[in-house]
Structure 1
Amino acid sequence: MNNTTASSEDIYPLKCGYDLPVFGLKDGSFNIIHISALASIAISLCSVVIVMVLSFSDKNRKLFFSRAKKERFIVYLAICDGFFNLFHGIDHLHYFIGKDHPRPKELCELYSFGQMIFVNAQHLLVNIVAINVYMMMYFNKNLNFGRLDWKLLVWAFGVPLLAQIGAVLGGQLGPNGT
């Protein structure tokens, strides 16, 4: 009978994300994964461009912050979606071209940093939209986000930025195999 105990290296043998295999390379699904992801990202980016062009095309429009809240929300959500898709698209393109994790690690961390800020900002904006709609429907109260929407923007972008700075300082960003 072998009385050896498992070391932490046996339980957690990976030292960093670069030890993980790139998802889909071994089973042949790599191209399908990345081509479909890049196509979806391209469609989403086209939608963002359409929203932004339509939102700012009329010369007679009011200044941005004097527009209705619903018009500003659409632009904020499009900005989040656009920047998320830029970071995510470049990340997928990097994987697709190199058939490996993005290197150096700092570049991979930058992709992660940008993706996480904007996907979390979008989630927080949707959260605020839902709360605002609820307050209007059930309490007939319209939430005030301050001059130039500063409260909304600090919540939506400041919280994810601080969280991602914490993730960088904690060494939590980088390659994960996907």
Structure 2
Amino acid sequence: MSSRQVMNTSFNPLRIVNTYGAFGSITKDRTEVIIQGTSSLDPSDPNAVWEEYEFKCKPGNLTRRPCVISPYHYRLDWLMWFAAFQTYEQNEWLIHLAGKLLANDETATSLLAVNPFQDKAPPRWIRGEHYRYKFSRIWGTHASEGKWWIRKRIAQYFPPLNLAGLEKYFKSRSWPLPSPS
């Protein structure tokens, strides 16, 4: 570690932190982008079942215990945390990731903890939802239900996307359009 790196100036080697490390890992709440996919033909159908992709260490599943790693980060989880502070237009890589998830691309899904479409057809649609997460209170109702997190939906982060709709976007950036495996 170099003392010239700003993030390392506050690093305390004896303190265990989660994946967000020196950037304020222990906060009362945080915003998160949750990526979801559906096999529904119509993403606007109220009966469409949206399944969540889980990342290796970032908050997502309310009953999953917070991940503790130090001093390293899972890079994709870390990028997702920063993306939640901005819009998807400021994070084009998220749309690239969505395209790869729409194709069940192995290199992309290997970076995740849970791919709800593993060993089955890839999703027809992917969307991003923006949530505010906070820890549940130790003696509270949520904790008694086994939930580590309480979350509240803020808004849609990016609209439902499909591979056909992404074709022109990918082409304009000279990205190869993923093909479903």
TM-score of the two chains, using structure 2 as the length reference: 0.21
Higher helix proportion: 1
Higher strand proportion: 2
- Answer with 1 or 2: which has the greater Rg: 1
